[in-house]
Amino acid sequence: MSFWEKLVNFISQSAGTVLTGVVEAVRTLFEGDPETRRQVAFSVSLIALSAKMAKADGFVTLEEVNAFHEIFEIPEGERRNVARLYNLARQDTAGYEAYARTLKNLCSDGEEGCPLLEEVIDGLFHIAKADGTVHEKELEFLAHVAEIFGISEARFTAICARHMDLGERDPYGVLGVSRSDDFKTIRSRYRALVAENHPDRLIARGVPKEFHAAANDRMARINAAYEAIERELKAA
């Protein structure tokens, strides 16, 4: 029996809300295996919150479904179990705020400023923008979840800039720097972002390897932003 099947069966048989079942399942099934537990916690958080985001937005597009499968290269035989988890979360009476608060603890395990939570927000953006735009209700949802996660406004703005056109704050916003910063500061920030997004660092944080498609998209945007700033400053 795969861990997805175990997870869904455990949740389906547990008492209380789906959210309670999710937390109990992750902690019970993967006790003693912290690496797998963090990866599963990340995956479950992204699946559950994407389901709640779809509910907040009111509809799910084919492009968003494809983006979801692009992030999680789910084997054909497991898609039914993942779809069951998605639908259970979407139909749960608990609001998305309750999900965000509980999943924050599940992902961070009490760690303040947990990078894994930023990865969840980044993944949700990747899904939300798949139909060509991040809709107002989706952005409102993402901003509130980020606030619950304890992600600063500056960090959230930088994540936004990687996925949305923010006018004059882009490409500087992508790197999380200011137009008044000197090139040495900008280059230092760029190198830090490259190091943060190295596949080995992602795996160490608990990001499943299947999520690297979204991470590659993020790195492409970071590289493009740095190159644009470099060209602008050389031309000045």
Give the least confident one: 25-34, 117-126, 223-232: 25-34
Which of the four pLDDT bands, split at 50, 70 and 90, describes residue 139?
A: very high
Domains of the chain in start order, with CATH, are 3-167 (1.10.3680)
Residue 154 in this model has a pLDDT that exceeds 60: yes
Q: What is the pLDDT of residue 63?
A: 75
Residue 168 in this model has a pLDDT that exceeds 60: no
Residue 213 in this model has a pLDDT that exceeds 90: no
Q: Per-residue pLDDT averaged across 114-133, rounded?
A: 85
SS3 for 165? Answer: coil
CA atoms 63, 2, 18, 150: torsion sign: negative
pLDDT top residue among 176 and 78: 176
Alpha-carbon distance of 199 to 194, in angstroms, equals 10
- The predicted-structure confidence for 8-54, as pLDDT tens digits, reads as follows 777 777 666 788 888 888 888 888 877 778 878 888 888 889 888 88
Cα maximum dimension of the chain? 64
Residues of the chain above pLDDT 70, percent: 86
pTM recorded for the entire structure: 0.76
Task: Find the DSSP H helices in the chain.
Answer: 3-13, 18-29, 34-57, 62-71, 79-91, 96-108, 115-128, 136-149, 153-163, 172-175, 183-196, 199-205, 212-235
- The predicted-structure confidence for 57-67, as pLDDT tens digits, reads as follows 776 677 777 77
Whether cis (ω within 30° of 0) applies to the bond prior to 171 is yes
CB 116 within 8 A of CB 207: yes
Residue 218 in this model has a pLDDT that exceeds 70: yes
